[in-house]
Amino acid sequence: MKVLVVGGAGYLGGAVTDILINSEHDLRVYDALLYEEEYRKGVKFIYGDIRNHEKLLPHLKWAEAVIWLAALVGDGACALNPEISTKINTDEVEWLSKNFDGRIIFMSTCSVYGAQDGELDENAPLNPLSVYAKTKLEAEKFLVDKNAIIFRLGTLFGVSDEYSRVRLDLVVNTMTMRAFYDKELKVFGGKQYRPLLHVKDAAKTACDNLTTTKRGIFNLRKININMIELAEKVEKHFPDIKIEKVEMKFEDARNYRVKVDKATKELKFAPKYEIEDGIKELKAVFAEGRIRDFLSPRFTNEMYLSKFSTHKLEKIPNGQEPEEPRLIEGGAAKDLRGKVSFINGFDFEGVKRFYMVENSCAGLVRAWHGHKHEAKYLMVLRGEALIGAVAIDNWDEPSKEAKVHRFQLSAQKPSVLYIPEGYANGLMSLTSDAQIMIFSNKTVEESKNDDFRFDPRYFDLPIYEDAIK
Between 463 and 461, whose confidence is greater? 461
Q: What is the CATH number of the domain that holds 363?
A: 2.60.120.10
pLDDT at 253 over 70: no
Q: DSSP code of 413?
A: B
Q: Among 317, 338, 366, where does a domain finish? A: 317
233: which residues sit within 8 A by CB, 6+ positions away?
A: 225, 275, 276, 279
pLDDT at 37 over 50: yes
Domain match, 407 and 277 both? no
pLDDT at 462 over 90: no
For residue range 338-355, what is the model confidence (pLDDT) as tens digits? 888 888 877 777 899 999
Q: State how far the Cα of 56 lies from the Cα of 48, in Å rounded to an integer.
A: 7
Q: Among 379, 360, 357, 361, which Cα is nearest to 369's?
A: 357
Domain match, 261 and 346 both? no
For residue range 270-281, what is the model confidence (pLDDT) as tens digits? 999 999 999 999
Domain match, 372 and 252 both? no
pLDDT at 335 over 90: no
For residue range 436-458, what is the model confidence (pLDDT) as tens digits? 999 999 998 888 888 899 888 88
Q: Among 317, 351, 385, where does a domain finish? A: 317
Residue 220 contacts residue 154 (beta carbons within 8 Å): yes
pLDDT of residue 248: 61
The pLDDT of 403-409, averaged and rounded, is 90
pLDDT more than 90, % of the chain: 66
Domain match, 405 and 292 both? no
Domain match, 343 and 253 both? no
pLDDT at 463 over 80: no
Domain match, 124 and 238 both? yes
3-state secondary structure of 48: coil
Residue 322's pLDDT band (cuts 50, 70, 90): low
The average confidence (pLDDT) of the chain is: 90
pLDDT more than 70, % of the chain: 95
pLDDT of residue 239: 87
Provide the H-helix boundaries in 236-290: 261-267, 275-287
pLDDT at 316 over 80: no
pLDDT at 236 over 50: yes
pLDDT at 67 over 70: yes
Sequential DSSP letters for 420-464: -TTEEEEEEESSTT-EEEEEESS-HHHHTTS-EEE-TTSS-----
Domain match, 89 and 189 both? yes
Domain match, 310 and 346 both? no
Domain match, 44 and 66 both? yes
For residue range 187-234, what is the model confidence (pLDDT) as tens digits? 887 888 999 999 999 999 999 999 999 999 999 999 999 999 999 999
3-state secondary structure of 339: strand
pLDDT at 41 over 80: yes
Give the total number of structural domains in the chain.
Answer: 2
pLDDT at 251 over 60: no
Domain match, 167 and 217 both? yes
Residue 196 contacts residue 155 (beta carbons within 8 Å): yes
For residue range 381-402, what is the model confidence (pLDDT) as tens digits? 999 999 999 998 888 888 888 8
3-state secondary structure of 197: strand
pLDDT at 92 over 50: yes
Q: If residue 55 lies in a helix (H) or strand (E), which one and from where to where?
A: helix 53-62
In terms of residue numbers, what domain contains 363? 324-467
Give the E-state strand segments of 265-403 in sequence order. Answer: 326-329, 331-335, 338-342, 353-357, 368-370, 376-382, 384-391
pLDDT of residue 314: 53
Domain match, 253 and 303 both? yes
The pLDDT of 282-301, averaged and rounded, is 92
Q: Among 268, 288, 317, where does a domain finish? A: 317
Domain match, 191 and 232 both? yes
Q: State how far the Cα of 148 lies from the Cα of 102, in Å rounded to an integer.
A: 8
Q: What is the CATH number of the domain that holds 245?
A: 3.40.50.720
The pLDDT of 175-184, averaged and rounded, is 95
pLDDT of residue 313: 59
pLDDT of residue 365: 80
pLDDT of residue 469: 44
